[in-house]
Structure 1
Amino acid sequence: MADGLKLLLPSYEPRQCPLALYRGQRLADHEAGNHGVWWTSCPVFAEFFGVMPSRTRRQTSVVLMTVDPHDAIIGEIDGEFLVDRRRLEDVQIVSTLPSSQGYDLSDPDGCFYMRGIPDGFDGSGLLEWFDKGRPVTGLSSVQEARAWFLRALIS
């Protein structure tokens, strides 16, 4: 099916900067090598998907990352990436998610666990995060920017 979709969908043009894609899913599926076909460039979106009770069935969930998966990308639809999971390489766990996250949007500084992880298109942010050893807390500059964005949304 992935081969057929690659023929039918508009071709994907690789970007020049580093690209990281994220996916939230059950840890058990990752350990079994079963990764889904939809990925996002936003780690916060991946976190939302990772903690959805209908997806995790109360099991441990994780946020996964793959870097420069250009050969696996079938297409991009509204900022979400359809991938051929047979071509995914080096899928890594970014973080194990807490079993219950409050998501109190009135607290923009602390409502997302993945709040400091750079978006997949933030080339300089990704390089800095990688250079620092990919800390789970991410980068303070990214945390501040996301908090500022949320404050603007809720005010």
Structure 2
Amino acid sequence: MNYLPICIQKTVNPGKLYDELLNQNLIQPLQPDGTSTVYGTDDTVTIYVHPDITQEELDAIGEVVEAHDPSPVPEPPSELEVIGGQLVEKDLQILELQGQNQLLGQEVVGLELQNLELQNQNAVLGGQVVGLELNNLELVTENQMQGQQLADMDLRLLTIEMGGNVSE
């Protein structure tokens, strides 16, 4: 079976155009002799199509050729470029983590300072509590002494009322 050539006056990137047409199932992958179905020069492209092609398929091929951008397909990055990009990405991640660690370190220092301040306040309050407890003990002791004095006075009064002598 002979394929029919379609010649179009347009500058194309033959490999790129071949992929675009093949991806839309508008051409056969290869001619029966194993050669490509798309050829191009600086200003002309020849596309070999199956003899049973429909008008809709011809129109679709024309649309793809018309929309085709002949600029070269960018070369995929080399292994060295890929590894370099990965290293740059890892370096950026490391820098980001270092920044986060620094912030967390500052937060820890702030919390430690708050803890020290609370410990100092606790020590001051503890000293105040001890002082209040000492005051309380003094008052209890004073109350006990006054209670003893009252008891002694009551005993003297009782003794006087009973007619006895009070010795001092």
**TM-score under structure 2 normalisation?**
0.20
Higher strand share: 1
In our comparison, the structure showing a higher alpha carbon Rg is: 2
**TM-score under structure 1 normalisation?**
0.21
Higher helix share: 2
